[in-house]
Amino acid sequence: MPGDERLVVGPGRLIVVSGPSGVGKDTVLRELFRVEPRLRYSVSYTTRAPRPGERDGASYSFVDEDTFRQMVERDEFLEWAEIYGQRYGTSLQRVRDAVERGEDVVLKIDVQGAARVRERVAGDAVFIFLLPPHPEDLRRRLKQRATEDESSAEIRYATAVSELAEQEKYDHKVVNDDVERAAREILQIIDRGRGRISG
Ligand code: 5GP
């Protein structure tokens, strides 16, 4: 059935990282890739506009609505989700090619996408939820984002609170109390899991 084809992961692994918006996923993942450059980042497709400093093909592949819709129709996404009115999707081909080459692939996706990956993936995948040390920090961090206006920061905060409720579905929870420490903990989880088969 279209869209239900299972992805058999291996020999590389999938590392799925979720967490509420504003928790610092980008910063922690940047540190993770600095200490372990062999990890491969799954560059998602999105319909949202690039933020300052974001490069097409590195942060995301930026596409228009029409292109995204065609990709959905052609079943080119491992998962996709609508978040704050924009679409985000993980390329099935990019992920499959990388794991077949034996690379460990990191997916930075929201809780809806992670749920979909859980359903579709057979093989070696680990699900990590990044948590703020104090949930009230989220509001402050979201407000600090220069590109967000007040009301969209509030929406993101409300979404973040509901996303926190999903944390129990993950294999591991990591608190982002310190960027280097959190990245190290994620690396330990990845290293510990090597050779473990789940799903
Ligand atoms: P942002 O617009 O701030 O970069 O990302 C917003 C949210 O979209 C974040 O929670 C991020 O993890 C999520 N996201 C980014 N790429 C994907 C994707 O390919 N699939 C899904 N489901 N979520 C994604």
> Where are the domains positioned within the chain?
7-194
**Residue 105 pLDDT > 50, yes or no?**
yes
Question: How many angstroms is it from 91 CA to the middle of ligand 1?
Answer: 13
Q: Which atom of ligand 1 is nearest to the CA of 77?
A: 19
User: How high is the pLDDT of residue 197?
Assistant: 45
User: How high is the pLDDT of residue 198?
Assistant: 44
Confidence category of residue 118, pLDDT binned at 50, 70, 90? very high
Instruction: Tell me the best of 30, 63, 83 to mutate to test the pocket of ligand 1, counting ligand atoms within 8 Å of each CB and taking the most.
Output: 83
Following CA atoms 30, 36, 37, 43 in sequence, which dihedral angle do they give, to the nearest 10 degrees?
A: -50
For 148, 150, 158, the CA distances from 107, given in Å and listed in that order, are: 24, 29, 23
Over residues 160-170, the mean pLDDT reads 90
Name the CATH topology of 7-194.
Rossmann fold (3.40.50)
| Of the candidates 36, 152, 37, 145, the residue with the CA atom closest to the CA atom of residue 86 | 152
User: How high is the pLDDT of residue 140?
Assistant: 75
Q: What is the 3-state secondary structure (H, E, C) of the chain?
A: CCCCCCEEEEEEEEEEEECCCCCCHHHHHHHHHHHCCCCEECCEEECCCCCCCCCECCCEEECCHHHHHHHHHCCCEEEEEEECCEEEEEEHHHHHHHHHCCCCEEEECCHHHHHHHHHHEEEEEEEEEEECCCCHHHHHHHHHCCCCCHHHHHHHHHHHHHHHCCHHHCCEEEECCCHHHHHHHHHHHHHHHCCCCCC
Following CA atoms 171, 90, 7, 101 in sequence, which dihedral angle do they give, to the nearest 10 degrees?
A: -100
User: How high is the pLDDT of residue 35?
Assistant: 97
User: How high is the pLDDT of residue 178?
Assistant: 97
What digits encode the pLDDT tens for the residues 1-45? Answer: 456 778 989 899 999 999 988 889 999 999 999 999 999 999 999
Q: Which atom of ligand 1 is nearest to the CA of 60?
A: 16
Is the C-beta atom of 29 inside 6 A of ligand 1?
no
The answer to whether residues 127 and 172 touch, using CB atoms and an 8 Å cutoff, is: yes
User: How high is the pLDDT of residue 60?
Assistant: 97
Is the C-beta atom of 112 inside 6 A of ligand 1?
yes
The answer to whether residues 176 and 23 touch, using CB atoms and an 8 Å cutoff, is: yes
Q: Which of 12-16, 99-103, 123-127, 152-156 has the lowest mean pLDDT?
A: 152-156
Is the C-beta atom of 81 inside 6 A of ligand 1?
yes
What digits encode the pLDDT tens for the residues 59-95? Answer: 999 999 999 999 999 999 999 999 989 999 999 999 9
Instruction: Tell me the best of 56, 71, 110 to mutate to test the pocket of ligand 1, counting ligand atoms within 8 Å of each CB and taking the most.
Output: 110
Q: Which atom of ligand 1 is nearest to the CA of 163?
A: 10
Confidence category of residue 162, pLDDT binned at 50, 70, 90? confident
Q: Mean pLDDT, the chain, as a whole number? A: 90
